[in-house]
Amino acid sequence: MNKLYKSTIALYMFNFFVGAIATFSIAPNSFFPLIFILGFGIYSISLLPSLKKIFIASWFLGFGWFSFGLYWIGSAFLVADTYHIYLMPLSIIILPSILAAFWALAFIFGKLLTPKASSPILLIVINLALIEYCRANMFTGFPWLMPSISLASNQYILQTLSYVGSFSGNLVILTLSILPIILFLHMPNKKLIFLLLFIPIFILFICSFMRFFNKEPVVMNENKTIVLVQPNIKQKDKWNIKKRKDHIQKLLKLSFEKEHNFENKYKMIIWPETSFEGFIPNELNLLSSISEKIIKNKNTTLIVGLLSQENRKLFNSLIFINATGKIDFKYDKIHLVPFGEYIPFRNKLKKIANFLSPRDFSTGVMKENIKLRGFGEIITLICYEILFSNEVNRRISDNTKLIINITNDAWFGNTIGPYQHLALAKIRAVETGLPLVRVANTGISAFISPYGEEIVKISLNKESVREVKLIPPLDQTLYKNFGDLIFAISILYLISINFLIFYFQRKVSYVK
C-alpha cells in the first residue's frame, strides 16, 4: 500500500480499476463478492491527506464504475448510423465523468466533516448513499447503476429490497464493502463498531433468505393470460417505411402463435415500445384492422407501444385496444430521457439542440391507472420509467395488481445494457410486491414474480412469443408501506455510529 501512495498515477489507476472490476458484481456477470473490492477503493482514498488527491482518486474510482457499467450507451450512436456517431466518445466519457464527480464530492465532504484524528470511511459511505439519492432525483434524475443494483445478482439477497428499497440498499452494499476493513483500522472499540454495522445487515440478509426460502408456491390464474410478443426488429430497420408492412406482419404472426380458445377467459397481448413506424391518430384505421385480426373475443385486449401527436405535441405512448378496435386507454410517457427524447435548454442552445434532434417529445400528464376488466388496476410504464422507485410507489394503490413495462432496448445492441434494465425491473417488482411484465423489442422480455423470479423469459436478440398466466400480488412489502422513511432512519443510524466513532477517538486522544 505504501508503494501505491508514492506514485500518484498508480494510486489513480488502482482506484479506476477497482471501480471497473466492481461492476462485474452486476448483471449479466452477477458475481456479487466483487462488490467488496469497492470497499478497498473507499479505504485507500480515506487515508489520503490532500483534498486534491482525494477528489481526483475518488473521481477515478467513480469513473471506473460508471464508464465500465455504462459503456453500452455508446452503442446507440452506432445503431443510429448517422453523423451522431461522432458524438459517441463524448457520451461514453462525459456522462461517466459527471457521475464520477458526484462520488468525488461525497469523499470530499466526508473528509472535511471528519476530525483529523478519526477515519472518514463511514462518513464517506453515508455521503455516497446521500449523493446517490441526489443523483436519482436531481436534474430529472438518473438512478441507473446505483450500487444496490448488485443485490439483483442473487434471488435471495434481492429480497432485501422488499424491506429497505434501493436507496437504503446502497447503504447496505457500501457498508458491507467496508466491513472487513473496519477490523484492520486503528480505531478504538473497532469490534463494537463492526458489530453495530454487521448485525443489522446480517439480520436483513437472514430475513431475505427466509423470505425467498419460505415463499408460497406460485398460484397462476388460469382465466387470465398474458402474451409477450418480442419481434426482434433491429433498430436500423425499425423506422424504414419500406419494411413497415413486414414488421406489422411479424407482430401479427407472433400474436397468432399462441392462439387458443379463450372463450370466457381474459387475455392481454402486449407489443413493445414503438412497435412499428407510425403515429396516432393517423393509424387508427390500421389499429382497428389489426384488432379485428388478433382479438377473437370481448375479453381480449391488445396493448401497443406507438408514437402519438396531439396539438402539435409528440408523445411516446402506450394504448389499450379493445375487441371493437377502439382505444380504451392511452398513456403518454411522463419521465423522458434527457438527450434521448428531449434536449435540455433547447431554447438557449438552439444550434446544438437542432443538430442533435430537430424535435422534442412532450411530457405526458399523470392520470389514474387503468382498471382493465378481468385484470384489475395496472400501472403502465414506458422504458426508462422503470428506474424511478419513488414515482412507481406514488402510483400504487391497494387495488394495483400488475406493472406493465414496455421498452425498446434495440438501441443498445448485444451489450450489458438490456441485462441491467431487466435487473432494475426485478428490483421494482420486489420493492412493490407486484408481478411485472416486461416486453422489449429485441429483448429481454420477461414476466417477473413479486419475488423477482423470471416466470417466463425471451432472451436477447430472439424473435419469439411467450404465454403466461397472471399471478397475484403480495399483500404488502415493508418498503411499499414506508418508502424512503426507511432510508432516512438508516442514515440516522449510521450517523449515530459515526458520532460514536468520533466520541471514542476524542476519549482516547484526551487520555493521551
pLDDT of residue 220: 82
Average pLDDT for 94-113: 94
pLDDT of residue 236: 83
Distance (Å) of CA 437 to CA 161, 226, 248, 352, 405: 19, 8, 22, 38, 6
pLDDT band at 264 (very low <50, low <70, confident <90, very high): low
Residue 368: Cβ-neighbour burial (10 angstroms; 0-12, 13-18, 19+): exposed
Selected from 3.20.20.70, 3.40.47.10, 3.90.850.10, 3.60.110.10, the CATH number assigned to the domain covering 221-471 reads 3.60.110.10
Q: What is the pLDDT of residues 199-253, one digit of tens each?
A: 999 999 999 999 999 998 878 887 899 999 999 998 888 888 889 999 999 999 9
pLDDT band at 1 (very low <50, low <70, confident <90, very high): low
Query: Which secondary structure element, helix H or strand E, spans residue 239, and what is its range?
Result: none
Grid coordinates standing for 384?
Answer: 426508462
The DSSP letter of residue 443 is: S
Q: What is the pLDDT of residues 407-427, one digit of tens each?
A: 998 888 889 999 999 999 999
Please name every residue paired with 465 in a beta bridge, in sequence order, or none if there are none: 229
Distance (Å) of CA 472 to CA 77, 152, 285: 40, 22, 35
DSSP output for 450-474: TTS-EEEEE-TT--EEEEEEE-PPP
284-294 and 244-257 helices, crossing angle to 10°: 30
pLDDT of residue 364: 87
Give dist(CA 381, CA 373) in Å, integer: 19
Query: Which secondary structure element, helix H or strand E, spans residue 337, and what is its range?
Result: none
pLDDT of residue 448: 97
The number of CA neighbours under 13 Å toward the Cβ of 501 is 27
Rounded to 5°, the CA angle 259-264-267 comes to 45
pLDDT of residue 257: 64
Give dist(CA 15, CA 54) in Å, integer: 11
Average pLDDT for 444-473: 95
Return the domain boundaries, the chain. 2-214+482-511, 221-471
Q: Which of 204-218, 338-352, 489-503 is predicted with the least confidence, judged by mean pLDDT? A: 338-352
Q: What is the pLDDT of residues 68-77, one digit of tens each?
A: 999 988 877 7
Give dist(CA 205, CA 453) in Å, integer: 18
Give dist(CA 478, CA 492) in Å, integer: 18
pLDDT of residue 349: 64
Using alpha carbons, select from 324, 430, 428 the residue that is nearest to residue 379. Answer: 428
DSSP output for 261-301: --TT-EEEEE--TT-SS-EETTTHHHHHHHHHHH--STTEE
Q: Is pLDDT of 512 > 60?
A: no
pLDDT of residue 337: 83
- Cβ distance 466 to 445 under 8 Å? yes
Give dist(CA 432, CA 162) in Å, integer: 7
Please name every residue paired with 122 in a beta bridge, in sequence order, or none if there are none: none
Please state, as a whole number, how many other Cβ atoms lie within 10 Å of the Cβ of residue 215: 15
356/27: higher pLDDT:
27
